[in-house]
Structure 1
């Protein structure tokens, strides 16, 4: 599979124009969406499963999911999601002098299935190291900063050592203490990842992953996440 390494400004003209305004799917018109999942992060981690490579802290209280970790961490939404849907959250990379306040790696898995246990993602244990996720079929967005100077979209195919790269940008990257308002669109073959109203990834998958699990993924960093929501999209052509 060919890869695309370029600056974000070198997006195709159509995608660049689309980034100037929210898409219909990401901010659906009345009647096209309904809320199917959410977490206000006031009642603990009951809706989430954590996989930590080297310890650290993951908490949900007072409206914030706080991930403060010294190495790899994946925080899964326990409920399997089926498309078409729009998923939204806000994530702020913390830079306040803490030991893990490195500002790096705001990443997501979505529509994830483990080929070793297709009916139950959590039946196969994982310890948080990145290579352990090679057995997934999933989309993976990696939004970089610090030593990680690329922002990438991958489509995992469930094979160890194989992580096909779809897009590879040198920007945009994270800004310390600035909120990232993310929208993920999973609508059949349409795969989109937005941040603060900008269309970062726009991919048409001829063999799409249309359902599976969502996760936050990061490495040696500190994030505060709020306002997790998922909406069901009605069919484009009822």
Structure 2
């Protein structure tokens, strides 16, 4: 089966599952939840590490993480997260005529570990170019990437130049100036990524990544992000 067919199958399943999705962030089996991370973006970037390829601005104030950049940028949550957990945030792609208001690339890394320094993701400095992340083991979603034409799930394996593609979709894509409510589930072999109640990716990983760092990632774009939360899922 081609990755395209698999992706369409996942999307069809997602449409059906979305109607049954729980109101709160949880996997299919009901769990107790314990808040393990959050940021209301009113106290600057003290919980984050910013890596920028070329200029632009990344600020956190008045409840908004504002990422306005002309090239690649990655904003890492400093603390690693360990599953099972569910993570949520809201991101709005800005299209108001600004220099970087190109609606593209609502991307995420999660469960990221650098194979060169497994206990310290930040031991090797990076400048924000995408190729600098090849030596991570991590999941990566590029939602509305390539000038809002592709939506893909990758599973990085820690090798330079190798970014294995798991699922490749032609939709869903970004909608300008519309809030996108993202939910990421890391639950053992279950890897799920939702947007606005729709299950976009549902992947069963036989060798799952279960802990590591989360990041917002984009390139040449402008996003406003709020309501970052993560919960541990307790049976």
Conserved? CA contact 1:3–1:166, under 8 Å: no
The unaligned stretches of length 5 or more in structure 2 are: none
Q: How does 1:82-93 map onto structure 2 within 5 Å? A: 82-93=82-93
Conserved? CA contact 1:6–1:169, under 8 Å: no
Conserved? CA contact 1:180–1:195, under 8 Å: yes
Counterpart-to-counterpart distance in 1, 2:77 and 2:193: 18
CA RMSD of aligned residues (A): 2.0
Q: Say if 2:4 is the partner of 1:5.
A: yes
Counterpart-to-counterpart distance in 1, 2:35 and 2:208: 23
Structure 2 equivalent of residue 122 of structure 1: 122
Conserved? CA contact 1:91–1:179, under 8 Å: yes
Q: Say if 2:131 is the partner of 1:131.
A: yes
SS at match of 1:209: coil
SS at match of 2:139: strand
Conserved? CA contact 1:25–1:185, under 8 Å: no
The 1:54/1:211 distance shift into structure 2, 3 A limit, reads same
Structure 1 equivalent of residue 104 of structure 2: 104
Q: How does 1:33-182 map onto structure 2 within 5 Å? A: 33-144=33-144, 147-182=147-182
Q: Show structure 1 runs of 4+ deviating over 6 A.
A: none
The unaligned stretches of length 5 or more in structure 1 are: none
The 1:207/1:31 distance shift into structure 2, 3 A limit, reads closer
Q: TM-score, normalised by structure 1?
A: 0.92
Q: Which deviations, in whole Å up to 9, do the C-alpha atoms of 1:24-83 show, x marking residues without a partner?
A: 883468761111110000000000000000011000000000000000000000001000
Q: Which deviations, in whole Å up to 9, do the C-alpha atoms of 1:189-234 show, x marking residues without a partner?
A: 0000000000000000000000000000000000000000000001
Counterpart-to-counterpart distance in 2, 1:161 and 1:115: 14
Counterpart-to-counterpart distance in 2, 1:145 and 1:181: 17
Conserved? CA contact 2:85–2:230, under 8 Å: yes
SS at match of 1:11: helix
The 1:15/1:176 distance shift into structure 2, 3 A limit, reads closer
